[in-house]
Amino acid sequence: MTIPANHVKKILINCLCFPETVKELTVSEWELLIRCARHCKLLAYLRWKLDSCGLIASVPAQVLTHFTAAQRIVDYRNRLAMWELNRIRRALYAKDVEVLVLKGGAYQLLQIPFAQSRLLADIDILVKKSDIHTVETCLQQQGWQTAKLDEYDQQYYRTWMHEVPPLRHQERFIEVDLHHTILPLSSRLQPSPELLIEDSIVVENIAYKVFSPVDMILHSSVHLFYDAELNGADFRDLVDLKELIAYFQPQQEFFFEILLDRAKQLTLQRPLYYTLYFIHNLLDAPIPEEYIEKNIGKPSWLTRKLMCYLVPLALIPEHPDFPRKKVALARWLLYVRSHFLRMPFYLLIPHLLRKSRMRMAGKEMH
Amino acid sequence: MKLKQLGLGNLVKQAASKEGVCLDIGAFCVRVKSDEIIFLETLAFLYQDFPILPSDTFADFHIVITRPKGVRHYLKPQVIFVTDGQQPFEPFPLSHAFPLFEWGLNWCIARRSHQYLMLHAAVVEKNGKALILPALPGSGKSTLSAALAMNGWRFLSDEFTMIRPQDGKILPIPRPTPLKNASIQVIKGTFLNAEMGPLFPKTRKGTVAHLRPPKQSVEQLKEAVLPELLIFPKFQANTEIQLNLLNKPYVVFKLASNAFNYELMGRTGFELVKNMTSSCRCYNLTYSRFDQVLPLLDDLLMQNV
């Protein structure tokens, strides 16, 4: 009998990387695939992938209904997001501020093909730190409300975070995260937001800017390997990175050289190393070995061994019926790591103590 | 094979296995796993006419009904609802395992089934024509649909009207109807052949008992049907029965706000609501007595327009 966890890994990764293998799936395997893909928000993506490979005819009718439902959710979130961006632009009309759209919203604006199947959670925008007060106040005056936070969280956001507390318009359901840089101020890495803004590009016909292609990849890498907790729900981010590179690389000569240079300039070699390493090794992305190996951000032997063991274990979704203890442990270790990277010890210890106290009291946390 | 034919002993064995029991509920297949006899007994009674599918069938939903770990396993035992490794609700007392299952299954359907437009409406059928009863909780749609089901109509659902975009037809999910408080006695007293599951006192909605769906309705659970009548019912004690024709643009708004996923469905949702409104006869109905409302709805369906 196959070990359940290996089974998940095999069918999920095979179907994402070698779509033609869906032809060999049994009904039970389809069922497991759908459950796992839904869990990691890749159901609509999987449909898109199969569709773009001309394999939709190999999908059983009952599975198709799940794909249809997932795609409708994605379409709906994308509509909400585009409307929200429209409203934000309108609210800021008279202000002379430059607004950048990050992540999913940016992929939408650029109409990168895979974005039409990417489930968008919220809107992320970035402005210069000197503009943040103007933008926040302006949005608040026009119906956006700041999430209700206690004093500690408020204070924490204002002092250490790379964004202000989340905003949401009173009549709508989508959250707006307003950033002034891409990592918390307490984080070990401090890429310069000025450099990122300087290189940003204008989206045709729309009054928004987005990061340049290489910066978009670096931002997503930083987010995944320096800000996220690296559990099954973050697996999608790795798939995003594979798709972004697959989309942008053919459009630019010396793409990887430019990407590595830019990483060096922004001091983001380490997260880029992880991205290239893991999309190559887990998702079979065609990355020439030299660009992985010659990256000076390559971690030490021990760190590499640890990360190569923990990341796949934590990141690949679990079999929903058979969760494993070692995965829980790997996720916990990477959770601690993510906090350790986000803030120095003298901040981390009191923060984690407080979070566990709040958890015991059963209160909402972020 | 029907659940009834499986027998309680085999059901208990199969529900505890890795594959669980695949229950065909019409529009969906549900894989149920449980080791709680008290729950399986009620399931076996209320779902007795539903087909059991082979375990290698594709199941749309996975539901586990079990006790949480820890002392509560033994001390004032509780029960939890788990779907795909997630536990979306707080535990219930063990005795309320069945209502938890029903409630959780509703939650799964409402959250995921956007391949269909989902109205928050009861639906019944006669002579190949469906009568949709959209209404808010408390307006008596479950009670009225139960009465219609006991009175010769085919029962499709008391909660979800699932409309298939391809042909505008309604797919049945003829699950047991949860009757609340006074409705339980009303149905029992009026229809002597009504069969109900155990009484569940002190749920979120008061006392609940589930009405077993008529055998005939369950046997037709794969037969989709086109809508003919759209009636917005309201139970109002001690009033004369009243039926008012509605103007269609108003019905479009009413349906759009009634559907669980109108906005999410986008253009498809609009087209479906528009087409359904223009092809159906639409009324507001206020009623207080079955002996008035049942013949009236029979007559209304028979009228050719």
C-alpha angle A207-A211-A214 in degrees, rounded to nearest 5: 150
Strands (E), B68-186: 78-82, 92-93, 117-126, 129-134, 154-157, 160-163, 170-171, 177-180
B195: its two tokens: 């069969």
Best of B84, B90, B267 to substitute, by most chain A Cβ atoms within 10 angstroms, is B84
Work out the average pLDDT over A154-182: 89
A27, A39, A72 ranked by CB distance to B56: nearest: A27
Vertex A101, ends A97 and A103: CA angle to 5°? 160
Q: What dotted CATH number matches B117-302?
A: 3.40.50
Taking contacts as CB-CB distances below 8 angstroms, the residues of chain B near A75 are: 266
Share of chain A above pLDDT 70, in %: 97
Q: How far apart are CA B163 and CA B120, in angstroms?
A: 11
What would be the CATH architecture of the domain defined by A73-211?
A: 2-Layer Sandwich (3.30)
8 Å CB contact of B58 and A30: yes
Check residue A2 and give its pLDDT.
61
| Residue A345 identity (one-letter amino acid) | F
Helix axes A235-248, A269-281, angle to 10 degrees: 90
Q: With a CB-CB cutoff of 8 Å, which residues 79-98 of chain A face chain B? A: 79
- The reply to whether residue B60 touches residue A62, judged by beta carbons under 8 angstroms, is yes
Q: What is the mean pLDDT of residues A115-135?
A: 95
Q: How much is the average pLDDT of B130-140?
A: 88
Q: Is the pLDDT of residue A364 over 70?
A: no
List every span in chain A annotated with CATH 3.30.460.
Answer: 73-211
Mean pLDDT of the B229-235 span: 95
SS3 sequence, chain A? Answer: CCCHHHHHHHHHHHHHHCHHHHHHCCHHHHHHHHHHHHHCCCHHHHHHHHHHCCCHHHCCHHHHHHHHHHHHHHHHHHHHHHHHHHHHHHHCCCCCCCCEECHHHHHHHCCCHHHHHCCCCCEEEECCHHHHHHHHHHHHHCCEEECCCCHHHHHHHHHHCCECCCEEECCCCCEEEEECCCCCCCCCCCCCHHHHHHCCEECCCCCCEECCHHHHHHHHHHHHHHHCCCCHHHHHHHHHHHHHHHHHHHHCCCHHHHHHHHHHHCCCHHHHHHHHHHHHHCCCCCCCHHHHHCCCCCCCHHHHHHHHHHHHHHHCCCCCCCCCHHHHHHHHHHHHHHHHHHCCHHHHHHHHHHHHHHHHCCCCCC
State whether residue B79 is helix, strand or coil. strand
Average of per-residue pLDDT across A296-311: 92
Residue-wise pLDDT for A8-64, tens only, equals: 888 999 999 999 999 999 999 999 999 999 999 999 999 999 999 999 999 999 999
Q: Residues of A with CB below 8 A from B27's CB?
A: none
- Taking an 8 Å cut-off on Cβ atoms, the answer to whether B112 and A35 are in contact is no
Cβ of A323 within 8 Å of Cβ of B85? The answer is yes
Confidence of residue B33 (pLDDT cuts 50, 70, 90): very high
Nearest-Å Rg of the Cα atoms of chain A is: 21
pLDDT tops 90 at residue A145: yes
Distances (CA, A) of A82 to A78, A109, B130: 6, 8, 38
Which of B18, B57, B115 comes nearest A68 by C-beta?
B115
pLDDT in tens, A322-363: 888 998 999 999 888 888 887 776 777 777 777 777 777 655
Distance spanning both ends of chain B, measured CA to CA? 42
B53 burial (CB, 10 Å; 0-12 / 13-18 / 19+) is middle
Average pLDDT value for residue range B176-180 = 95
Please state the separation of Cα A209 from the chain's center in Å. Answer: 19
ipTM attached to this prediction: 0.93
Query: In chain A, what residues touch B59 (CB-CB under 8 Å)?
Result: 31
Query: What pLDDT, on the 0 to 100 scale, is given for residue A148?
Result: 85
Identity of the residue numbered A140: Q
Reply yes or no on whether the pLDDT at A244 is more than 70.
yes
Share of residues in chain B with pLDDT > 90 (%): 91
Q: Are B284 and B247 in contact (CB under 8 A)?
A: no
Q: Has residue B208 got a pLDDT over 70?
A: yes
Q: Where are the domains of chain B?
A: 3-112, 117-302
Measured between CA atoms, the residue of chain B closest to residue A27 is: B58
Cβ(B39)–Cβ(B79) below 8 Å: yes
**Based on the number of CB atoms within 10 Å of its own CB, is B158 exposed (0-12), middle (13-18) or buried (19 or more)?**
buried
Copy the structure tokens of residue A140: 């608040």
- CA atoms lying within 13 Å on the CB side of residue A17: 17
Measured between beta carbons, the chain A residues lying within 8 angstroms of B85 are 39, 318, 320-321, 323
> Is the CB of residue A322 less than 8 Å from the CB of residue A4?
yes
Beta carbons of B58 and A38 less than 8 Å apart: no
Shortest distance between the Cα of B62 and any Cα of chain A, in A, equals 9
pLDDT of residue A280 exceeding 70, the answer is yes
Cβ contacts from A onto B, under 8 A: 52
Judge whether residue A114 has pLDDT over 80: yes
Closest chain A C-alpha to B56 CA, distance in angstroms = 6
Contacting residues for B7 by C-beta, under 8 A, at least 6 apart: none
Three-class SS state of B91: coil
A30/B84 Cβ within 8 A: no
Which residues, other chains included, contact A335 with Cβ-Cβ below 8 Å and sequence gap of 6+?
A229, A230, A231
Does the beta-carbon distance from B85 to A60 stay under 8 Å?
A: no
CB atoms closer than 10 angstroms to residue A208: 18
Average pLDDT over residues A302-308: 93
pLDDT at B288 over 80: yes
- Return the pLDDT at B303: 86
Under an 8 A CB cutoff, do A69 and B113 touch? yes
Say if residue A174's pLDDT is above 50. yes
Tens-place pLDDT, residues B73-101: 677 889 999 999 889 999 999 999 999 99
Residue in A closest to B263 by C-alpha: A76
User: d(Cα B11, Cα B14) in Å, to the nearest integer?
Assistant: 5
- Is the pLDDT confidence value at A3 over 90? no
Amino acid letter, residue A320: P
Minimum-distance CB partner of B84 among A62, A68, A320: A320
* Closest CA–CA distance from residue A317 to any residue of chain B (Å): 11
Average pLDDT over residues B23-41: 96
- Asked which of A293-302, A308-317, A334-343, B270-279 is least confident by mean pLDDT, the reply is A334-343
The per-residue DSSP string of B165-203 comes to TTT-PEEP--PPEEEETHHHHHHHHH-TT--B---EEEE
CB within 8 Å of chain B, chain A residues 307-336 = 318, 320-321, 323
